Amino acid sequence: MLVLLVGVGGGLLAAIVALSVLAYDVLVWLVGDPTATTAAEHFAGAPDLAGAVVVGLLVWWYHQEVLGTGRAAARTEVRRVYEYVMAAVGLLAASAGLVMVIVTLVEAIAAGRDLVVGGSALNALLAALVLLAVGLPVWWWHWRLAQRARGSGPAAELASPTRRTYLLVLFGVSGVAAVIALITLVYLLLEDALAGGIDTETMRSIRFPLGILATTSLLSAYHWTVFRADRAELDRRAPARAPHTPATPGHGPRTVLLVGTLSPAEHADLATRTGADVQLWRPRAAAPARPSVEELAEAVGAVPEGDVLLLVDATGLRAVPVDHYTSS
């Protein structure tokens, strides 16, 4: 499964990089500052780039079909990993584009042209726009799918370790990058200030740290806000269900013992729905049918109070009221 996910992310990343370079070459030739004097020389690498785009998209499409991540497919943890990996790939490209936009603006203010060795500020701006045009739609589409799932099924989505990992990694990496960029920025400013004064050359020297600082700060703040909203929603939902689950006097919190199989997300969803401590025992032989979380929650709700034993066997789903046995 990890190989398939690498194929999905790697294939799309290769296609995005090749497509971005190809679009950049076209824009530079049309409106930019090309270094080549003939179209044949300028587009010498275009066939290789086009081939990389086709191969990358085919690899991405094939592994997506193998994973079964279509819109009609069930929302499994594999599908969540797929969507968040795709969102991260698009966000990486869009972030690079935003950094280059800020760098180009600072370069324009400083009235310089040697932004990139062998290129111009106009070419750098074209590269930034291409990255934004390619990365933003990929990120927005997959992030929108994840957010839509959060709205329609918040219990399972908020409990997903994939979503929490995605948000925390982006917040952490962006935060660390922002701190490093800030330190570099302050160092360059102090160096020029102590050496004789801050001028346009100083602006040019800080353009990359400034672009990275602005972009990573924005990303870190956004993902931390989303993560805090998720945690607040989980905290709000947890106590809201607890009063609806009566407990037998002397038994403490209600316990549900399920003899069956559940995924981690389904386990968390059942615990949220019932407000009980759900314990899972896996049978040696697989059950002929696997009930849904909704069916399990309804079976628990049919038992008015006390602990419940859920059995899934050839006869179907059975809910058996039980009491803790205490030896005297």
Residues linked to residue 279 through DSSP beta bridges, in sequence order: 257
In a domain, 278, yes or no: yes
Return the structure tokens found at 76: 């499994």
Shared domain for 81 and 127, answered yes or no, is yes
CA atoms of 265 and 163, how far apart (whole Å):
11
> Higher confidence at residue 190 or residue 199?
190
Shared domain for 196 and 179, answered yes or no, is yes
Shared domain for 95 and 214, answered yes or no, is yes
The stretch 84-108 carries a mean pLDDT of 88
The stretch 7-18 carries a mean pLDDT of 80
CA atoms of 96 and 129, how far apart (whole Å):
10
The stretch 89-105 carries a mean pLDDT of 89
- Phi then psi for 247, rounded to 5 degrees? -120, 145
In a domain, 327, yes or no: no
For 191, the 3-state DSSP assignment is: helix
Report pLDDT digits (tens) over 143-194: 998 898 888 878 788 888 889 899 999 999 999 999 999 999 999 999 888 8
Return the structure tokens found at 213: 């600082």
In this prediction the pTM is 0.64
Q: Which domain holds residue 209?
A: 2-240
Q: Please give the pLDDT value at position 68.
A: 63
CA atoms of 63 and 12, how far apart (whole Å):
10
pLDDT band with cut points at 50, 70 and 90 for residue 252: very low
Q: Please give the pLDDT value at position 54.
A: 93
Calculate the average pLDDT of the chain: 80
> Higher confidence at residue 242 or residue 266?
266
Shared domain for 233 and 255, answered yes or no, is no
In a domain, 101, yes or no: yes
Q: Name the domain boundary from 200, 220, 240.
A: 240
Report pLDDT digits (tens) over 209-222: 999 999 999 999 99
Report pLDDT digits (tens) over 58-81: 988 887 777 665 555 567 777 888
Report pLDDT digits (tens) over 48-59: 999 999 998 898
The stretch 3-23 carries a mean pLDDT of 79
What total number of domains does the chain contain? Answer: 2
